[in-house]
């Protein structure tokens, strides 16, 4: 990045001119930044390319046989139905929760605001097992819809709540003074301003649903992802699975293209340029308590059911008799430590990997930046097992000394969860105003000092949120962990898997409880960071340089 | 930023203890981890050879072994499903098992080519919910379940590794056409689950009246939830019906093993009376020990009273045909 100083065109030199969006995109991108930003997308592309190659090696007749069978039609319908409906439901629920918490006087809103983020921390296999034990009618589509929506809506809630907080109250006040009522103000003024946050998060939800396995497996709902696992189970060498994964990659690209089109080129800026003003809270009047009751019901569903299930199994006697060796304080400690260590390392590495790409996106927006950003999202929609096996093939060919070492495992996590970090880091950098950076440079600070003393402190909370999000994803991850961890490593998630796969739920309960506690703590942190970083998230989509 | 990424990665790499000591073996394990942990500990005490264990789902581990090829760090593969072993054998990734080890177990439960040894077995059974079906109403043959009167009353897990050998067995016994007709009947009748655990849990809850499973899934559920919550039982298909198929779990030494001696010793240990007793009495996996002198857990019908169909491991093959037929019937 040091090159940037010498190669930067004169117009960008500290002339004290007000930054103008048009000029920004015409600046040439520093090569070092570009190289650093390329690292993430390239890492993501490697396993995807290998998967694609494996699929190509599949004979044409076999491929046709595999793709044009009755079940694939059924899978396509199932996959599309659940993706579209759960994404829309998560969007509505997430936005509603965000609006009530941020903009109304609903009693207990601070507690609800925190609890609404918590389902992120619940491993899907715990949640779906709890729902299945609760009622038999919750299998198939209905159960899948409930579990998935309640698991994914916080992905919408967090950014939308942040955007609401950062929204310029003047816009709403103007609309009201011009005669719009409360509802049409929301629909015509607030909602369009929320669009970038809403669309970005809906994209994450859609891709997450495409590659979800744990929940659908227990709920007997068949999608492309569950079928990819079945393919591995019935043919082992993975050619067919790669082919099906390519179908998923195509579906991902469709989602990405759709979001890109809808997002458009609208601009989202504050009218006032001065200090921030809190928006007025709407009084709910006689609806105060019914809305609060709704929140209680929501929390009972998203948190009460799975936590109740873990609690129930924790109190069941007889666990010790069935699994003599496997619930010891030492093992509890060592698995917790392993989860913490891997989670923290992956959180740091992934956030650092996302930083240059996010910086490129924010300061040098354009086609190239967008292309790189979108590339990282594709891996999000492909099942973890496919990515993990591709990394195995790559590693034994080219990186043998690293194979099944911690370093490669951390890189695998980074590949899987880069988009999660990217979303938060990007939002955080958007709010670190470029003027401050330019002022620092004008006053003689080098790029590194500028980064350390200006950019990072401003973007700090957002980086923390990104790291917390990755941490949660890593500690609940299973596929890459099982295949790529150093031999003998046990994490909380693998321990829960070991025990539930022998139906020893009571033995799994302490690990599940610890896993949930760890993730809940991280989501508490995430919430705190996200709250602090909400200052200017209104501009989540940058002006596109037109 | 790149620099800091690298330095973090290096710092992380420095903390991991690489390469294990020479007198140990690496085991890829798709058997129940609790059982294998006990066995490994006991083996180390007996021989001084340490066992590093990587556990995972059988198919994922088999796929990993194929991807690793000659560079695999594994010395031994131990799995619940013989078709995975047949596949690795076909790909030329296994080394011959010592004759002394093979001779402990009845020949028909090991690889015909001597590349892997059978360790334990389990029987295919029909679990049924005792409040929804009475024993006399149960079908005599696996084929009855495809008849219209069983519509909506059968649970199956066609993608479970245990179901494929069953399809192979039906093909070997009745031919492809009859198998396809049977599968199509099942497609019309059955509730589809992802694995046998799901089937047996649903049968016990009353979600479905009967379910095709391997015996030990019911044993394990019963042990976990106790008598008071068990609302299901197990029925055996009688008279040599294909439904009473016996599946084998086995172990193999990798051709690329770093410690072939240790690996062979581990296989010999697995079929020894001591290890077989540990497994049979462990109250965890409930599989039938294949050592003729060791009795199984009393919850099971004694092994010598089972009436499996007369099929060889070779006739069962490596599951590729089963997958094709399941797809044709719309079950996969």
Domain of B109, CATH number, reads 3.40.190.10
Q: Does A403 touch chain B (CB under 8 A)?
A: yes
Q: Provide the domain count of chain B.
A: 2
- Same domain, residue pair B91 and B175: no
Specify if B12 maps to a domain.
no
Q: Does B13 touch chain A (CB under 8 A)?
A: yes
Q: Does B161 touch chain A (CB under 8 A)?
A: yes
> Residue A41 in contact with residue A376, Cβ under 8 Å?
yes
**Which residues in chain A touch residue B62, judged by CB atoms under 8 angstroms apart?**
236
Q: Could you read off the pLDDT of A52-98 as tens digits, one per residue?
A: 888 887 777 777 777 777 778 888 898 999 999 999 999 999 999 98
Decide if pLDDT at A280 tops 80: no
Q: Does B19 touch chain A (CB under 8 A)?
A: no
Specify if B128 maps to a domain.
yes
Q: Chain A: give the shortest CA distance to residue B113, in Å.
A: 21
Cross-chain Cβ contact A487/B53 below 8 Å: yes
Mean pLDDT of A441-456: 81
Using CB atoms, pick whichever of B2, B59, B207 lies closest to residue A236: B59
Cross-chain Cβ contact B87/A139 below 8 Å: no
Residues of B (295-314) whose Cβ lies below 8 Å from A: none
Residues of B (96-125) whose Cβ lies below 8 Å from A: none
- Same domain, residue pair B128 and B195: yes
Q: What is the pLDDT along chain B (332 residues), one digit of tens a residue?
A: 444 444 544 444 444 444 444 489 999 999 888 889 899 999 999 999 999 999 988 888 888 898 898 999 999 999 988 888 988 998 899 999 999 999 999 988 999 899 999 999 999 999 999 999 998 999 989 999 999 999 999 999 887 778 888 998 899 888 889 999 999 999 999 988 877 888 998 899 888 999 999 998 899 888 878 888 899 999 999 888 999 999 899 999 999 999 999 999 999 999 999 999 998 887 777 899 999 989 888 888 888 888 888 887 777 766 667 877 887 887 87
> Residue A126 in contact with residue A63, Cβ under 8 Å?
no
Q: Could you tell me which residue, A326 or B225, shows the higher pLDDT?
A: B225
Q: Does A229 touch chain B (CB under 8 A)?
A: yes
pLDDT winner (highest mean) among A310-319, A447-456, A494-503: A447-456
**Which residues in chain A touch residue B26, judged by CB atoms under 8 angstroms apart?**
487
Q: Can you list the domains of chain A with their CATH numbers? A: 30-269+288-539 (1.10.3720.10)
How would you label A6-37 residue by residue, b for 16+ Cβ within 10 Å and e otherwise?
eeeeeebeeeeeeeeeeebbeeebbebbbebb
Q: Chain B: give the shortest CA distance to residue A92, in Å.
A: 31
- Same domain, residue pair B133 and B233: yes
Specify if B49 maps to a domain.
yes
- Same domain, residue pair B38 and B90: yes
User: What's residue A13's pLDDT?
Assistant: 39
Q: Chain B: give the shortest CA distance to residue A320, in Å.
A: 10
Specify if B261 maps to a domain.
yes
- Same domain, residue pair B116 and B258: yes
Decide if pLDDT at A486 tops 70: yes
Nearest CA in chain A to B74: A487
Q: Does B160 touch chain A (CB under 8 A)?
A: yes
Specify if B6 maps to a domain.
no
Specify if B311 maps to a domain.
no
**Which residues in chain A touch residue B167, judged by CB atoms under 8 angstroms apart?**
none
Confidence at A326, pLDDT banded by 50, 70, 90: low
Confidence at A543, pLDDT banded by 50, 70, 90: very low
**Which residues in chain A touch residue B77, judged by CB atoms under 8 angstroms apart?**
none
Q: Chain A: give the shortest CA distance to residue B130, in Å.
A: 17
Distance CA A526, CA A155 (A): 12
Cross-chain Cβ contact B197/A35 below 8 Å: no
Q: Could you tell me which residue, A101 or B12, shows the higher pLDDT?
A: A101
**Can you give chain B as a three-state secondary structure string?**
CHHHHHHHHHHHHHCCCCCCCCCEEEEEECCCHHHHHHHHHHHHHHHCCEEEEEECCHHHHHHHHHHHHHHCCCCEEEECCHHHHHHHHHCCCEECCCHHHHCCCCHHHCCCCCCCEEEEEEEEEEEEECCCCCHHHCCCCHHHHHCHHHCCCEEECCCCCCHHHHHHHHHHHHCHHHHHHHHHHHHHHEEECCCHHHHHHHHHHCCCCEEEEEHHHHHHHHHHHHHHHCCEEEECCCCCCHHHCEEEEEEEEECCCCCHHHHHHHHHHHCCHHHHHHHHHCCCCCCEECCCCCCCCCCCCCHHHCCCCCCCHHHHCCCHHHHHHHHHCCCC
Confidence at A24, pLDDT banded by 50, 70, 90: very low
Nearest CA in chain A to B163: A234
Q: Could you tell me which residue, B5 or A462, shows the higher pLDDT?
A: A462
Cross-chain Cβ contact B8/A349 below 8 Å: yes
Specify if B310 maps to a domain.
no
Cross-chain Cβ contact B13/A404 below 8 Å: no
Q: Chain B: give the shortest CA distance to residue A377, in Å.
A: 21
Q: Does B198 touch chain A (CB under 8 A)?
A: yes
- Same domain, residue pair B179 and B324: yes
Confidence at A160, pLDDT banded by 50, 70, 90: confident
DSSP structural state of residue A535: G
- Same domain, residue pair B277 and B179: no
Sign of CA dihedral A416, A418, A421, A422: negative
Find the distance separating the first CA and the last CA of chain A, reported in whole Å.
27
Q: Could you read off the pLDDT of A113-157 as tens digits, one per residue?
A: 888 887 877 776 677 767 766 665 666 788 888 888 888 898 888
Q: Could you tell me which residue, B306 or A324, shows the higher pLDDT?
A: B306
- Same domain, residue pair B185 and B324: yes
Question: Which residues form the domain of B32?
Answer: 21-121+248-302
User: What's residue A319's pLDDT?
Assistant: 43
What 3-state class would DSSP assign to A381?
helix
- Same domain, residue pair B183 and B322: yes
Confidence at A25, pLDDT banded by 50, 70, 90: very low
What 3-state class would DSSP assign to A104?
strand
Q: Does A439 touch chain B (CB under 8 A)?
A: no
- Same domain, residue pair B135 and B257: no
Q: Chain A: give the shortest CA distance to residue B266, in Å.
A: 18
Cross-chain Cβ contact A233/B15 below 8 Å: no
Residues of B (21-40) whose Cβ lies below 8 Å from A: 26, 32-34, 37-38
User: What's residue A196's pLDDT?
Assistant: 74
Q: Does B212 touch chain A (CB under 8 A)?
A: no
Q: Which of B2, B4, B5, B196 to mutate to test the interface with A (most CBs of A within 10 A)?
A: B5
**Which residues in chain B touch residue A1, judged by CB atoms under 8 angstroms apart?**
1
Cross-chain Cβ contact A36/B1 below 8 Å: yes
- Mean pLDDT, all residues of chain A: 78
Q: Could you read off the pLDDT of A184-208 as tens digits, one per residue?
A: 888 888 888 788 778 888 888 998 8
- Same domain, residue pair B53 and B162: no
Specify if B5 maps to a domain.
no
User: What's residue B259's pLDDT?
Assistant: 95
- Same domain, residue pair B132 and B114: no
């Amino acid at each position: 990045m040091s090159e940037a100083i010498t190669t930067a065109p004169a117009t960008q030199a500290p002339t004290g001119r007000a930054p103008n969006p048009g000029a920004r995109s015409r600046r040439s991108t520093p090569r070092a930044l570009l190289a650093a930003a390329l690292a993430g997308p390239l890492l993501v592309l490697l396993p995807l390319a290998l998967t694609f190659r494996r699929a190509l090696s599949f004979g044409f007749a076999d491929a046709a046989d595999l793709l044009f069978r009755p079940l694939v039609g059924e899978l396509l319908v199932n996959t599309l139905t659940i993706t579209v409906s759960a994404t829309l439901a998560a969007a509505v629920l997430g936005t509603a929760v965000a609006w009530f918490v941020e903009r109304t006087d609903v009693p207990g809103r601070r507690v609800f605001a925190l609890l609404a983020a918590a389902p992120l921390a619940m491993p899907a296999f715990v949640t779906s097992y709890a729902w299945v034990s609760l009622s038999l009618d919750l299998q198939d589509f209905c159960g899948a819809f409930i579990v998935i929506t309640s698991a994914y809506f916080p992905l919408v809630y967090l950014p939308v709540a942040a955007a609401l907080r950062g929204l310029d109250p003047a816009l709403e006040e103007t609309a009201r003074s011009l005669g719009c009522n409360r509802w049409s103000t929301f629909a015509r003024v607030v909602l369009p301003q929320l669009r970038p946050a809403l669309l970005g998060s809906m994209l994450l939800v859609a891709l997450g649903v495409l590659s979800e396995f744990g929940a659908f497996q227990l709920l007997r709902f068949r999608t492309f992802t569950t079928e990819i696992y079945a393919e591995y189970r019935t043919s082992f060498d993975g050619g067919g699975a790669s082919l099906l994964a390519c179908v998923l990659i195509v579906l991902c690209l469709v989602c990405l293209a759709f979001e890109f089109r809808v997002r458009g080129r609208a601009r989202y800026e504050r009218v006032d340029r001065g200090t921030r003003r809190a928006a007025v809270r709407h009084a709910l009047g006689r609806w105060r308590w019914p809305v609060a009751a709704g929140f209680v019901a929501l929390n009972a569903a998203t948190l009460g059911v799975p936590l109740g299930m873990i609690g129930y199994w924790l109190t069941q006697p007889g666990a010790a008799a069935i699994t003599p060796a496997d619930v010891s304080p030492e093992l509890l400690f060592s698995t917790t430590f392993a989860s913490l260590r891997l989670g923290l390392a992956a959180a740091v590495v992934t956030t650092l990997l996302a930083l240059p790409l996010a910086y490129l996106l924010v300061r040098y927006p354009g086609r190239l930046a967008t292309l790189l950003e979108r590339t990282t999202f594709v891996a999000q929609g492909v099942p973890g097992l496919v990515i993990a096996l591709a990394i195995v093939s790559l590693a034994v060919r080219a990186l043998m000394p690293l194979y099944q070492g911690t370093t490669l495992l951390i890189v695998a996590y980074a590949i899987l969860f880069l988009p999660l970090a990217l979303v938060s880091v990007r939002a955080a950098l958007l709010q670190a105003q470029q003027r401050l950076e330019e002022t620092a440079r004008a006053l003689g600070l080098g790029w590194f000092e500028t980064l350390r003393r200006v950019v990072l402190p401003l973007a700090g909370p957002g980086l923390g949120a990104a790291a917390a999000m990755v941490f949660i994803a890593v500690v609940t991850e299973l596929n890459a962990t099982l295949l790529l961890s150093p031999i003998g490593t046990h994490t909380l998630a693998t321990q829960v898997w070991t025990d539930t796969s022998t139906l020893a739920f009571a033995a799994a309960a302490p690990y599940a409880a610890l896993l949930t506690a760890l993730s809940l703590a991280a989501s508490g942190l995430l919430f705190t960071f996200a709250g602090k970083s909400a200052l200017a998230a209104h501009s989540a989509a940058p002006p596109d340089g037109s | 930023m790149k620099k800091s990424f690298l330095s973090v990665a290096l710092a992380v790499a420095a903390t991991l203890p690489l390469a294990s000591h020479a007198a140990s073996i690496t085991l890829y394990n798709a058997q129940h981890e609790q059982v294998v942990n006990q066995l490994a500990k006991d083996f180390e005490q007996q021989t001084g050879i340490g066992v590093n264990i990587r556990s995972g789902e059988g198919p994922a581990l088999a796929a990993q072994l194929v991807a690793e090829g000659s560079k695999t760090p594994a010395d031994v593969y131990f799995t619940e499903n013989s078709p995975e072993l047949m596949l690795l054998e076909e790909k030329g990734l296994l080394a011959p098992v010592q004759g002394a080890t093979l001779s402990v177990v009845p020949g028909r439960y090991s690889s015909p080519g001597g590349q892997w040894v059978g360790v334990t077995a389990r029987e295919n059974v029909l679990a049924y919910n005792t409040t929804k079906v009475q024993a006399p109403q149960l079908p005599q043959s696996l084929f009855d379940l495809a008849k219209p009167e069983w519509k909506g009353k059968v649970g199956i897990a066609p993608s479970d590794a245990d179901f494929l050998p069953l399809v192979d067995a039906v093909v070997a016994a009745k031919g492809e056409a009859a198998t396809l007709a049977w599968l199509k009947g099942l497609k019309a009748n059955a509730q589809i689950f992802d694995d046998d655990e799901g089937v047996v849990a649903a049968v016990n809850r009353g979600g479905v009246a009967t379910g095709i499973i391997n015996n030990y899934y019911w044993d394990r559920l019963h042990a976990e939830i106790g008598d008071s919550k068990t609302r299901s039982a197990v029925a055996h298909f009688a008279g040599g019906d294909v439904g009473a198929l016996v599946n084998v779990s086995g172990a193999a030494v990798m051709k690329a093993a770093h410690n072939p001696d240790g690996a062979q010793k581990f296989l010999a240990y697995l079929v020894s009376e001591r290890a077989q007793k540990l497994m049979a009495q462990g109250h965890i996996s409930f599989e039938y020990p294949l050592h003729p002198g060791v009795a199984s857990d009393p919850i099971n019908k004694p092994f010598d009273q089972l009436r499996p169909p007369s099929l060889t491991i070779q006739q069962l093959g490596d599951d590729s045909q089963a997958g094709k037929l399941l797809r044709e019937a719309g079950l996969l």
